[in-house]
Amino acid sequence: MLVMVVWGATPVMTRVATDDLEPLLVAVSRTLLAGLVAAPFVLAAREAPPRRARHRLLLLVSSAAGFVVFPLVYTVGQQRTSAMHGAMILAALPLFTGLYAALVGRRLPSSPWLAGCGVALAGEGLIIVVRSGSNESATLVGDLLVLAAALVVSAGYVAGALLLPRGLSSRATTLWGVFLGAAALAPLAGVLVAADGVPRGSPEAWGAVLFLALVTSIAGYIGWYWALDRGGIARIATLQFLQPVSGLILAALVLSERLSPPLAAGAVAIVGGIAIAQRTGRR
């Protein structure tokens, strides 16, 4: 639950950063900064990579999805929509994560689990479809890009979680993933600097990027993989429905975005869906 509260700040911090910096620069910088932190640990061989080819493939999928594709697509999308809309669209993460895990495990989720996800997603749909009273910055293109990013990163969650029972710790999975992601984005960073020069921005914008790098990309992922390993992918994934709730509160407090009646009703539905799905997981 603590990870979800932290990740709930991601849409807000992304909006703060992209208000003063280009979205691609924000996306690349968050992964590069996180990769610099991870580099001493992986290069000093304190965190050994997986040995088997299949496990290395899982690590590459986790890294590409979580630290390359997601930051690029999500940041561009979030810059084109409101923090509240972005937070609520990420409510689809538990459903995608659980369904990917079911496909990999070749078993269908239970009917009550699907019912809980359905209730929560109904709340999300209400927020996306009913735009009356929402912020003007929320665009359909931005919403769709955030949704696409959620589809991609959910596959990365499952790939990373599958490494944990095979001897790789949550810390090693995260550090290697972000290190490989930073290496992949380094050429793009060079292109951006060559085209636009040394980036400039306000202290608030770079502080937000630092938060995205250290708290979201490193601390958040380590805690999330640890939780998935201990509680099971399908059951723990439903806790992601808490992420948009904390995101709504932070967007209202930090960005002064308005909590409209559709947003409030959607948040209530999401909390109800969590309760149904989590009760099923305990049983």
Q: How far apart are CA 28 and CA 234, in angstroms?
A: 30
pLDDT at 283 over 50: no
Residue 64 has pLDDT above 90, yes or no: yes
Is a pLDDT exceeding 90 seen at residue 260? no
Neighbour-count burial for 207-241, b at 16+ CB within 10 Å, e otherwise: ebbbbbbebbbbebbbbbbbbbbeeebbbbbbbbb
Mean pLDDT of 163-167: 75
Token digits of residue 137: 């910055």
Mean pLDDT for 210-224 is 88
Report the pLDDT value the prediction gives residue 102, as an integer from 0 to 100.
Answer: 78
Phi, psi (deg, nearest 5) at residue 4? -65, -35
Domain ranges across the chain? 2-282
Q: What is the mean pLDDT of residues 23-49?
A: 89
Give the per-residue pLDDT at 236.
55
Supply the Cα-derived Rg of the chain in whole angstroms.
Answer: 18
Residue 235: the pLDDT is: 56
Query: Of 148, 129, 30, which Cα lies nearest the Cα of 78?
Result: 148
39 has pLDDT over 90: yes
Mean pLDDT (whole number) for 50-73: 93
Collect contacts of 224-231 with beta carbons under 8 A, ≥24 apart.
Answer: 224/3, 224/7, 224/157, 224/170, 225/160, 225/161, 225/164, 225/170, 225/173, 225/174, 226/170, 227/3, 228/157, 228/160, 228/161, 228/164, 229/161, 229/164, 229/165, 229/170, 231/281
> How far is the C-alpha of 250 from the C-alpha of 137, rounded, in Å?
17
Angstrom distance (rounded) from CA 1 to CA 7: 10
What pLDDT does 141 receive? 85
Has residue 230 got a pLDDT over 70? no
pLDDT in tens, 65-110: 999 999 999 999 999 988 888 887 787 777 777 778 778 887 777 7
Reply yes or no on whether the pLDDT at 1 is more than 80: no
Measured between alpha carbons, how far apart are the two ends of the chain, in Å?
19
